[in-house]
Amino acid sequence: MDCPTTADTVAVETDTTAAFALTRRKRRPAYGAAVVAATASAVWLSNVFRQVDALTIRYALITLTLGFAARWLFVKASPRTADLTLLSPWIPIAALAFAIALSPLKTFLSNGDTDPAGTLARHYGLVAPGQQATAVDRCIARQLHNTSLDPAGQPVSVAPANRVPFYRSVCNTALLQSLLLLDGTAISRPQFTAIEQNTLTASDY
């Protein structure tokens, strides 16, 4: 029987070392993935459970189910299916992504309206039925709505007859300063309040 040559012995040792190194890499704890998963879970919980009620619990279950579904589809579609498990730190990350992307769904579940500021703009007669509300229209509607809910809590006091032109001027200024989002909310409330104060001081409202 032929004896193994030196080259064969080196090849076997190399293969054994490589297999051992691969095993060590596979068994190494995924601390980075655990930290990312924990962070995503915390952000997901804070994003979904800002107010604990039946709606937020239902919304949380929807996004978490979508996270599991995304992981299941990935496992089934991956060529490494045998090496993958359904439970993964990617699930809370996917759930967080769905929670952010589907935030209009939460609004729809709460009141059936994906554009509450646009609806308010039509309610106050700022936009004709069938027309699209602008960021300024939504901004005005939000301010009118907030004033009607809590007049004493507003930073400025304006007569009811002057509120629409006053807030139109304020919201237009905020838009020019790139402070308005499309839904009519201000990026910086202190800056928006400063515009209100300056507009009130410079005008006869």
Domain boundaries, the chain: 32-111, 116-202
The model's pLDDT over 51-98, given as tens digits with 9 standing for 90+, comes to 566 667 777 788 888 888 888 888 788 777 666 677 777 788 888 888
The predicted pLDDT at position 22 comes to 43
Residue of 181 and 114 predicted with greater confidence: 181
The predicted pLDDT at position 50 comes to 62
> Across the chain, how many H-helices and E-strands are there?
9, 0
Candidates 158, 157, 124; CA nearest to 140 is 124
Token look-up 């699209």 returns 132
Structure tokens at 145: 């709505």
The model's pLDDT over 158-175, given as tens digits with 9 standing for 90+, comes to 888 899 999 999 999 999
The one-character DSSP state at 49 is: -
Phi then psi for residue 154, to 5 deg, are: -85, 145
Distance (Å, whole) CA 73 – CA 34? 21
pTM above 0.75, yes or no: no
Which long-range contacts does 170-174 make (Cβ < 8 Å, 24+ apart)? 170/139, 170/143, 170/195, 170/196, 170/199, 171/135, 171/136, 171/139, 171/140, 171/143, 172/136, 173/199, 174/139
